[in-house]
């Protein structure tokens, strides 16, 4: 059974998604990178003739260690856990580990603003005498829930927080907003 499902229950919709495949890819890349630097370090130690080579090994691990830790903390923390989006006529709830649960009641808000903006653009591919534009982006999708005495924001990083079901989540937000006479505004920033 797939870990990415949409279930209609009790007058609402629950979307559960796993982003574990992205985690596995990054983990493999980190392991390959660490393996390469272990190999380089062993080669330096075997051929150790000068103190400079030992110093070089220390410098490599002073750089590789924090880099690996940073990538793990930034991109892998919480990716093995399921993400959930729950919407019904009473509330909206978004669960993206390791962040705290986001919860908003429909009665507190008058409108929802969805803004999508590129977070990172993949570079164009340059070949001999030509350039192939890739135009692929990772998007930050910012949801603003605005009411008379209420203003909350939740950011969804496309591909990291939700991936396959992201479009369906935005469709459901718009559908429920219209159904409950709330304003739904969607805009893109370039």
CATH number at residue 87: 2.30.29
The domain in which residue 58 lies consists of: 23-76
Q: Are residues 117 and 182 in the same domain?
A: yes
Q: Are residues 68 and 120 in the same domain?
A: no
Q: Are residues 64 and 109 in the same domain?
A: no
Concatenating the DSSP letter of every residue in 2-30 gives: -S-EEEEETTEEEEEE--HHHHHHHHHHH
Q: Are residues 94 and 184 in the same domain?
A: yes
Q: Are residues 14 and 27 in the same domain?
A: no
Q: Are residues 67 and 34 in the same domain?
A: yes
Q: List the beta strands (DSSP E) in 79-110.
A: 83-87, 91-95, 102-105
Q: Are residues 98 and 38 in the same domain?
A: no
pLDDT at residue 125 greater than cutoff 80: no
What is the predicted pLDDT for the residue at 133? Answer: 54
Q: Are residues 123 and 109 in the same domain?
A: yes
Q: Are residues 86 and 137 in the same domain?
A: yes
Of the spans 59-73, 104-118, 156-170, which averages the highest pLDDT?
104-118
Decide if 119 contacts 159 (C-beta within 8 A): no
Q: Are residues 104 and 119 in the same domain?
A: yes
Q: Are residues 42 and 127 in the same domain?
A: no
Q: Tell me: the pLDDT tens digits for 95-114?
A: 988 889 999 999 999 999 99
Q: What percent of the chain has pLDDT over 90?
A: 30
Domain end marker among 76, 95, 117: 76
CA dihedral (42, 47, 53, 55) positive or negative? positive
Domains identified in the chain, total number: 2
**Is residue 117 very low, low, confident or very high in pLDDT (cuts 50, 70, 90)?**
confident
């Amino acid at each position: 059974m797939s870990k990415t499902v949409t279930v209609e229950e009790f007058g609402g919709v629950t979307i559960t998604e796993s982003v574990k495949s992205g985690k596995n890819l990054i983990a493999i890349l980190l392991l390959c990178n660490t393996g390469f630097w272990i190999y380089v370090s062993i080669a330096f130690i075997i051929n150790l003739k000068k103190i400079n080579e030992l110093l070089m090994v220390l410098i490599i691990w002073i750089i590789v260690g924090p880099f690996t830790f940073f990538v793990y903390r930034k991109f892998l923390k919480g990716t093995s856990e399921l993400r959930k989006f729950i919407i019904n006529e009473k509330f909206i709830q978004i669960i993206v580990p390791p962040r705290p649960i986001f919860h908003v009641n429909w009665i507190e808000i008058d409108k929802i603003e969805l803004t999508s903006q590129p977070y990172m653009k993949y570079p164009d591919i340059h070949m001999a005498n030509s350039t192939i534009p890739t135009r692929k982006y990772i998007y930050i999708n910012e949801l603003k829930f605005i009411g008379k005495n209420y203003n909350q924001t939740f950011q969804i990083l496309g591909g990291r927080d939700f991936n396959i079901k992201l479009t369906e989540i935005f469709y459901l937000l718009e559908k429920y907003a219209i159904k409950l006479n709330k304003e739904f505004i969607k805009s893109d920033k370039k």
